[in-house]
Chain A
């Protein structure tokens, strides 16, 4: 199963301030550990939201807004994707993640959809077409 470790943004990361050398090296050590265990699939840091944009749909209308975005806590600053055998293993790896920010860091771990989930939902789609799996409230 695959998990994505999402690193939340901070004021510093949004300001484009590069993390101190020790933090970069702790991050590199951690990702090296993941690689050595053969569980690292992908990972990247994200540039500040000032370089991004948003697209919103509402009432059939689409609006595009350029960054930066104010609500720093809801933004993400990077991600790491790991492939592990159990949920507990993902917890243990997440637990070893170094604090990604200078002060108050936060990470969030989410399980990714897999082939089986995908096929499952496709099956449900087919049932929907037959009118079986609809909500009957």
Chain B
């Protein structure tokens, strides 16, 4: 097979553009920058392994872009642009170490000299690529960093978002975000974080950290709490893209597929989650024909993969719950018994009063309000739920259904006082008022208020 057919990839011929040579060269530059953006994480991953320093890796990747902008417009885009860029970045790294003669650099030169003099070719096998990329993910999500720093570094190094974009997404100034990233990189190098792949239980722990970071990014995009509106869908997309990437790098990890399944299914609801005025629509009230069925199918397929692998964990169980909703064509068709059972399994894996409260709701729908209330009542003294408006609001709803209106009134009022959300408070106060109305009617029926 011919591999050096450079001219067939010659961008000026490839992309339709005006005759004007300035516009033409600008379009060529844009095309090169696109290729660079697509390969950037891979270059950084390879160079981070090579130099053991993510900061330098980023710098040399940038140098490789400059080299590409210089030579590709004339020579054409090489057949394997990723390999070309990595080789070019490596040469920069070697030059750098030769110049600075750092102790570490010298050491490195001893081990890489032979390779450095070898003719230029695609330097990396697929196996290397996987290891390097996964390694970069592990390093970006290293436990030595704060969660905030892990998120920022992952989005910057692997996601390829600009510092400005990350700053917008997390409502901080660009300077603050830039400092956060610089500090994170410095911390990694001061802590001497190794770039080798972790093994055994260490690997499992580190993978959990990567999954946690991806899900945090996804949720930041998914929840309507803060951040720039324009950035939110980008964060969901990016978390999903990185998750899909991770799945091809670590295909035998159940929880990776579990997390992807969870994100795909949740994202499938994005088109139905708010009305024309931007007000949120609850899951059971959503127009299910607006759900994205391509994402649902992807989610269900990922869930099946997760469940076929050993040790499906909390993400897989949450995805299984989301799948119960995704499979139901109408809210009434939802399999609440299965959801209640899945919450029970989830509660066993990761005990949490919030999960129990969700289980109480599922039980109430599956087996009647009394069954749900029994569990909700057990949670009444959970310290973790003391200020959680959802508990009194669930209890109020169930008490109301059981005709215990007086108790329901108290709980609606308590929930209204606890919630931070204005719309929710208004809704809860409305329901409290309807309790009062019912009590008045009840009273007048019995002649108490006459």
Contacts and interface: CB of A to CB of B under 8 A. Distances in A.
Interface of A: 22, 32, 35-42, 81, 83, 85-86, 88-89, 91-92, 95, 115, 118-119, 122-123, 126
B244 A92 contact: no
Given A38-B243, A89-B34, A115-B271, 16 more contacts: A37-B245, A38-B242, A38-B245, A39-B241, A41-B298, A42-B294, A42-B298, A83-B241, A85-B37, A88-B31, A91-B14, A91-B15, A91-B31, A115-B270, A119-B276, A122-B276
B30 interface: yes
Contacts of B304: none
B249 interface: yes
A36 B271 contact: no
Contact of A118 (B38, B242, B271): B271
Nearest to B37: A89
Contact of A36 (B37, B248, B270): B248
Contacts of B365: none
In the complex, the 6 A-B pairs of residues with the closest C-beta atoms, listed nearest first: A38-B241, A38-B245, A38-B244, A88-B34, A36-B248, A35-B248
Contact of A83 (B34, B237, B248, B297): B237
Contacts of B237: 83, 85
A81 B31 contact: no
B409 to A, nearest CB: 40
A86 B9 contact: no
A95 B245 contact: no
Nearest to A93: B38
B38 A89 contact: yes
Given A32-B248, A42-B294, A95 B241 contact: no
B440 to A, nearest CB: 41
Contact of A92 (B38, B248, B270, B271): B38
A118 B241 CA distance: 23
B243 to A, nearest CB: 7
Contact of B34 (A32, A40, A81, A86): A86
Contacts of B276: 119, 122-123, 126
Contact of B38 (A32, A37, A115, A122): A37
A88 B30 contact: yes
B370 interface: no
A37 to B, nearest CB: 7
Interface in B15-64: 15, 30-31, 34-35, 37-38
B206 to A, nearest CB: 20
B31 A92 contact: yes
Contacts of A123: 276
17 contacts: A36-B248, A38-B241, A38-B242, A41-B294, A42-B297, A81-B294, A83-B241, A89-B34, A89-B38, A91-B14, A91-B31, A92-B34, A92-B35, A95-B9, A115-B270, A119-B276, A126-B276
A22 B2 CA distance: 13
Nearest to B260: A38
B304 to A, nearest CB: 16
Contacts of A81: 294
B42 to A, nearest CB: 9
A92 B35 CA distance: 7
